[in-house]
Structure 1
Amino acid sequence: MALRRCYNSWFGSSLKPKWDAEVFLNNGAELLEELITSSEGKSSPIRIFSAKELEKATKNYADDLFFHEDSEYKMYKGTIDGRAIIVSKSIRSDFISSSRAYEVAVLSRINHVNILKILGCCLEIKIPTLVYEFFSHETLYDRIHKSGTSGYISWENCLKIATGVAYGLTYLHIDMATPIIHRDIKSRKILLDEHYNVKIVGFDLSLPMPLGETETECPVIGTYGYVDPCYITKGLVSEKSDVYSYGVVVFEILTGKNKDRELWESASEFAECTEEKLVGFAEAILLEEGKKDQLKAFAQLVRRCLSGSWEERPTMKEVVQELRRIKGL
């Protein structure tokens, strides 16, 4: 009833087609259920935006405000009440609306400097549109591979990006009451600002880890090249699956590889290569700029993350600890 009153107060009971109301109420029910089951009493307030508000905020999703597209959604910069926002609009008709409701429920519990903060959502359309704080207009993928840029990232900034992503994943794995496995860490899901600060996005495939469990069975899903081989062969996912994807992302920064198959095959080769060849995978300019001891230790850490065995991979907390040590070399 509360959702129906909310709908009527915005639009009037006779001003909108009936299916709009049904979509709104169905999405609202899914969202409310997800928030109740996952909040553990700690959910942040989520604002419900109208479709008209977001159309106005983005100038009807104008091309000049578009800045990023993934396989599931497009992101636009917008402004509401004088505040810059990001509007994430689904582009897949077969996308399951409950996945977006789940993403809202997960993000409503998260407050971390390296994870993009959600402000609210629009429930009027079949696939809810999500609204985030504005952070930047560029993904890590764009920074490495975008046409017209050198793709070069300094050694200092390489470490900064790697550390920011590691902090965010560590928070998800050990600092939340229910650990969250992201399951789709890749360069397209990492936003960067002009100072190379990091925000992780894209939690529609994320998965809560059952209480007391270190792994869980689920269908294999994710992006080719970044998905943990153990996940593919066993059908089991754990925090070490995120560790592998993290290793691929950092390898991508070091090498500039961008084709999925090329990236996967190169990362696999990197995981098996000898110590003498480790540093050789980094771009020459990076080697010249960075301290060789740092780069060698960093490459060894990445190789551990890319191990074919869960047991041989570090946890994200251990990755953070090693990155701190590397910075001191």
Structure 2
Amino acid sequence: MPPGCSCSEGYEGNPYLQCRVIGLALGVLFLLIGAWWMSKLIKRRRCIQLKKKFFKRNGGLLLQQQLSSSDGSVRKTKVFSSNELEKATDFFNENRILGHGGQGTVYKGMLADGSIVAVKKSTIVDEDKLEEFINEVVILSQISHRNVVRLLGCCLETDVPLLVYEFIPNGNLYKYIHVQNDEFLLSWEMRLRIAIEVAGALSYLHSAASIPVYHSDIKSTNMLLDEKYRATISDFGSSRSIAIDQTHLTTHVQGTFGYLDPEYFQSSQFTEKSDVYSFGVVLVELLSGQKPIFSASPTESRSLATHFIMLMEDNRLFDILDARVKEHCHNEEVVAVGNLARKCLNLNGKNRPTMKEITTVLERVIQKGSNVQQDSQENENIMADLSMQYMGCISDINNDL
């Protein structure tokens, strides 16, 4: 009988059998623990291998190559883990959805440090979409402008790639123009300010950035408003950076119907003037409050750009002016913005102004408006002073009597 195997006091029988049972139980237990540990280890290795596979498939190597070949002007992009972003978005809960775009769905998230972010989950990426995704990362890494959305980082180890942006709290411009809201009115002054902020950002992208960038999908849904209702350009998935000596970029037709440059649609040659045309449509949206494609009748849809040009040719600009701002704007400003929009929508791209010229015109319009308001306020102050002096004279006369 093995040493140590004895019955407890008050019991009798074969203690060897009891020891054997206990030994077998412990052996099975250790075997199960070992199997569980091995299973967990294998699962972890598979997960690591799968993440590496996703990283490679989602363009991780291409991104590393793009960033390493930059001239140092590219900001370092933070690489988030899938666990971080799953926790941040409550596992991409539908209640966290901020909106849907051409390249994916955007979720509101909160990182471990408490900061609020917008997480863009791309649609299933094929080889064609892969370049768009990496393109957006590289382009936004080069851009530093207060009116361009800031890219915080990305995650490539998931089934579909993820981009993490700063959170812009007040949604897109489209809803403020086209969705009725009695609690908030997008005033004429705000519309002018938004127009000049977007124009200034596009001017920067076209001519002041380290590498010229064409957005290629300018529209009111891609213009986000922050807590002070300042405009920020977003969604650079279809954007293109170009070499200095290039005059145009030939690619497959992209953009959004209603905003798309007719010249680009015909030739597939995208230039900075294609962004100008799209911006012209946004200007008309701000002027009119109408959608880029609107219903002229129950059976007919019409292009806002074409409708606007026809009205301008008939000298009927004020027929299209948004009724919500008619009583609160200066006619001279409306005419100036209308003429500018008409130039942007010229069918010949060469005859359109540059974004830098557009910015200059809008700055003059706003400056003139400020001077008019200042003169009006000074006149009111003068009239108030004269009224006070008049009342004082009347009072003195009454006292003398």
TM-score, normalised relative to structure 1: 0.89
Distance 1:34 1:151, change over 3 A: farther
Find the aligned partners of 1:219 and 1:40 in 2 and give their Cα distance.
Answer: 28
Q: Could you tell me which residue of structure 1 aligns to residue 80 of structure 2?
A: 49
Q: Could you tell me which residue of structure 1 aligns to residue 92 of structure 2?
A: 61
Distance 1:275 1:35, change over 3 A: farther
Tell me if the contact between 2:259 and 2:292 (Cα under 8 Å) persists in the aligned partners: no
Structure 1 window deviating more from structure 2 (174-183 vs 150-159): it is: 150-159
Find the aligned partners of 2:189 and 2:359 in 1 and give their Cα distance.
Answer: 16
Tell me if the contact between 2:280 and 2:341 (Cα under 8 Å) persists in the aligned partners: yes
SS at match of 2:303: helix
Q: Root-mean-square deviation (CA), in Å?
A: 2.3
Deviations 1:90-123 (A, max 9, x none): 1345572232111101100100000000010000
Q: Could you tell me which residue of structure 1 aligns to residue 63 of structure 2?
A: 31
Tell me if the contact between 2:170 and 2:229 (Cα under 8 Å) persists in the aligned partners: no
Runs of at least 5 residues in structure 1 that lack an aligned partner in the other structure: 1-11
The CA deviation at 1:34 is 2.5
Deviations 1:95-154 (A, max 9, x none): 722321111011001000000000100001243100011222411112223366688421
The CA deviation at 1:162 is 0.4
- Greater Rg by CA: 2
Structure 1 window deviating more from structure 2 (13-22 vs 60-69): it is: 13-22
Q: Could you tell me which residue of structure 2 aligns to residue 302 of structure 1?
A: 341
Tell me if the contact between 1:178 and 1:208 (Cα under 8 Å) persists in the aligned partners: yes
Tell me if the contact between 2:149 and 2:234 (Cα under 8 Å) persists in the aligned partners: yes
Tell me if the contact between 1:225 and 1:261 (Cα under 8 Å) persists in the aligned partners: no
Structure 1 window deviating more from structure 2 (159-168 vs 58-67): it is: 58-67
Give the aligned residue type for 2:65: E
Q: Could you tell me which residue of structure 1 aligns to residue 207 of structure 2?
A: 174
Give the aligned residue type for 2:304: S
Distance 1:323 1:147, change over 3 A: closer
Deviations 1:27-79 (A, max 9, x none): 31021122234x32211011100111001111112233222212321112211
SS at match of 1:76: strand
Structure 1 window deviating more from structure 2 (88-97 vs 23-32): it is: 88-97
Tell me if the contact between 2:214 and 2:275 (Cα under 8 Å) persists in the aligned partners: yes
Find the aligned partners of 1:292 and 1:147 in 2 and give their Cα distance.
Answer: 24
Give the aligned residue type for 1:317: K
Give the aligned residue type for 1:107: L
Tell me if the contact between 1:301 and 1:319 (Cα under 8 Å) persists in the aligned partners: yes
Find the aligned partners of 2:201 and 2:96 in 1 and give their Cα distance.
Answer: 27
Q: Could you tell me which residue of structure 1 aligns to residue 118 of structure 2?
A: 86
SS at match of 1:138: coil
Q: Could you tell me which residue of structure 1 aligns to residue 141 of structure 2?
A: 108
2:307 to 269, 272, 275: 269
Q: Could you tell me which residue of structure 2 aligns to residue 71 of structure 1?
A: 102
Find the aligned partners of 2:184 and 2:348 in 1 and give their Cα distance.
Answer: 31
The CA deviation at 1:15 is 5.5
SS at match of 1:276: coil
Deviations 1:161-187 (A, max 9, x none): 101110110110000232110000111
Give the aligned residue type for 2:123: I
1:211 to 244, 257, 265: 244
Distance 1:258 1:150, change over 3 A: farther
The CA deviation at 1:260 is 3.2
Structure 1 window deviating more from structure 2 (64-73 vs 244-253): it is: 64-73
SS at match of 2:142: coil
Runs of at least 5 residues in structure 2 that lack an aligned partner in the other structure: 1-42, 296-300, 369-401
Tell me if the contact between 1:101 and 1:128 (Cα under 8 Å) persists in the aligned partners: no
Give the aligned residue type for 1:315: T
Structure 1 window deviating more from structure 2 (12-21 vs 40-49): it is: 12-21
Higher relative contact order (CA 8 A, sep 6+): 1
Structure 1 window deviating more from structure 2 (248-257 vs 237-246): it is: 248-257
Structure 1 window deviating more from structure 2 (285-294 vs 48-57): it is: 285-294
The CA deviation at 1:216 is 2.4
The CA deviation at 1:253 is 2.1
Identical amino acids, percent of aligned pairs: 35
TM-score, normalised relative to structure 2: 0.74
Find the aligned partners of 1:145 and 1:326 in 2 and give their Cα distance.
Answer: 24
Q: Could you tell me which residue of structure 2 aligns to residue 285 of structure 1?
A: 324
Find the aligned partners of 2:352 and 2:81 in 1 and give their Cα distance.
Answer: 45
* Counterparts of residues 177-326 of structure 1 (less than 5 Å): 177-258=210-291, 260=293, 265-272=303-310, 273-274=312-313, 276-326=315-365
Tell me if the contact between 1:181 and 1:238 (Cα under 8 Å) persists in the aligned partners: yes
1:328 to 360, 363, 367: 367
